[in-house]
Amino acid sequence: MAQAPYRDVPEALATTAPASLECWLRDGDSKRWLRAVYVKVWFGLFGSLMLAPAGLPIALLPVVLGGVWAWHDVRQRKGARVLLHVAKGRLNVACDKTTFDVTLDNLLEVRMDSKSASKNVTMARADGVNTVFGMGSSHNIDIDVARIELVTKGNKAHLLSEDFISVSLCTDSLRAIRLFLRAHGWQPDDERPPGQRQLR
């Protein structure tokens, strides 16, 4: 009995595939920015205790400044939360800043847009000062970063996030998205019959 190619999706699998997939395309080093937020929160609380004898309005000032400082760090994270939903042969994509809808037939490719970038790395100090203030020796290194885009009919690219993040995180998310779409019967353009291909 002939076996179907491994990329073919049986109809039974397509009907049992999950309807939605959520991806968090955020910088991979989540512990780093969490540590920075904790340090700033503790800085605000400690400053508040030190200024408590001066009165409540003065004592609240470090708490407010620490909170604003921590919120700024959270807002500076790169990437986005992406929700993909498939129903009746249509894919709906909801990102942090945009939403778009496309049929699976008109979705030609899911790929990475990658580049090299320079990143400033601060060397750790034993006394931990640079954890709070960013002080210490530093140097630039070249790293590969990427973002995911969906290519639709007419060779139009839709970015899931405009921010470039780590290639390893993008690769994992790209694989999850492609497997999710294949489970609903989607085929990339280069696997379609020659007469149906649109990308060259």
Q: Backbone phi, then psi, for 114, in 5-degree steps?
A: -120, 160
Contact 73, 40 (CB under 8 A): yes
What predicted TM-score, i.e. pTM, was given to this entire model?
0.64
- How do residues 113-148 score in pLDDT, each as one tens digit? 988 866 665 555 545 555 545 544 556 677 788 889
Q: What is the spatial distance between Cα 175 and Cα 191, in angstroms, rounded to a whole number? A: 16
Mean pLDDT computed over every residue of the chain: 77
Contact 82, 22 (CB under 8 A): yes
Contact 14, 184 (CB under 8 A): yes
Distances from the Cα of 14 to the Cα of 82, 105, 133, angstroms? 22, 15, 52
* Domain ranges for the chain: 20-28+79-189
- How do residues 61-120 score in pLDDT, each as one tens digit? 888 887 787 777 666 665 678 999 999 999 999 987 788 899 999 999 999 998 886 666
Token pair in block for residue 57: 């309005």
Q: Which of 20-34, 36-50, 129-143 has the lowest mean pLDDT?
A: 129-143
Distances from the Cα of 78 to the Cα of 27, 73, 99, angstroms? 6, 10, 18
